[in-house]
Amino acid sequence: MGPPNRGKYGGYGDAYDASMSAGPGTTRSLAGTRRGRSIAGLSTLLSLLLFGGVIWDAGYARLYPAARFLHRPLPLLGLATLAALTLVAAGWLAARQPPASTALRLGALGCAVLLGVGTSAWGMFRTGFASTVERDATLAVSPDGRYAVVRLDTRDWKDLPHTELRVRYRAGLLSRDADRELVDCRRGWPSGRIDAEFVGEQTVRVTPAGRSAVTVTFDRQMRPRHRVDVCHPADD
């Protein structure tokens, strides 16, 4: 007997027909394979990084002028959703045969729901009550150029206006604001001009409109060394 008919393209035609006959279901073969488990591991790591990003967004993004736009409910919710979906995909790819595949996928789904709902709820609470910065103005820059005093005119969730003076570490896109105000005004900042000038590398003189000047020194964390009520001199 002669050799089997290989057709016009010989044995390659048979291989092509076999690959085509597998159909769209071949994508499922990735689950449980060595490659699938590798992708699942990377997806899990990516998911944890994304959840970490949600926590960072809710707690610290407001301190970075370049990332302040992320400190809002909608971007934070989108980030948490992406993290949850990535974790679900990792569970789907990790195992191929039941009951291991069922347990892993249900476990991944449960973790995704818990982490997604938990971080989203906490983040929505933090961002929902966060003040919106309407004006960001630099009032003074330190002699060495590392620090600046900035005035932030904000509006809170009740739509009430506020004014904050904070120290900013100047580093381009990585510039960061202090986590607390440089000076306080318990009765509310008076309207009008607010002047500030550095009288030392980490010492600032602040003069609100119609008030006496006060001098305050901040530490390496850009926090004032002692609490100063800039409105107090006028109350004496």
What's the pLDDT at 199?
Answer: 93
Helices (H), 61-99: 73-94
| 101-125 pLDDT per residue, tens | 778 778 888 888 888 888 888 877 7
| CA distances from residue 177 to 50, 62, 79, 216, 228 in whole angstroms, order as listed | 23, 8, 23, 17, 18
Domain spans, the chain = 30-128, 132-235
Compute the mean pLDDT over every residue in the chain, rounded to the nearest whole number.
Answer: 79
What's the pLDDT at 101?
Answer: 72
Q: Are 143 and 186 in contact (CB under 8 A)?
A: no
Rg of the chain over CA atoms, in angstroms? 29
What's the pLDDT at 209?
Answer: 77
Among the ranges given (24-33, 58-67, 186-195), the one the predictor scored with the smallest mean pLDDT: 24-33
Cα separation, 105 vs 87, in Å, equals: 9
What's the pLDDT at 217?
Answer: 92
What's the pLDDT at 23?
Answer: 41
DSSP three-state, residue 175: coil
In this structure, the strands spanning 161-169 and 214-217 are unpaired
What's the pLDDT at 234?
Answer: 45
State the CB neighbour count (10 A cutoff) for residue 60: 13
Q: Are 141 and 147 in contact (CB under 8 A)?
A: yes
Helix (H) or strand (E) holding 198: strand 194-200
| 144-191 pLDDT per residue, tens | 999 999 988 888 777 777 788 899 999 999 999 998 888 877 666 666
Cα separation, 60 vs 104, in Å, equals: 33
Per-residue DSSP letter, 188:
-
| 209-218 pLDDT per residue, tens | 777 888 999 9
What's the pLDDT at 150?
Answer: 93
pLDDT at 224 over 60: yes
What's the pLDDT at 187?
Answer: 62
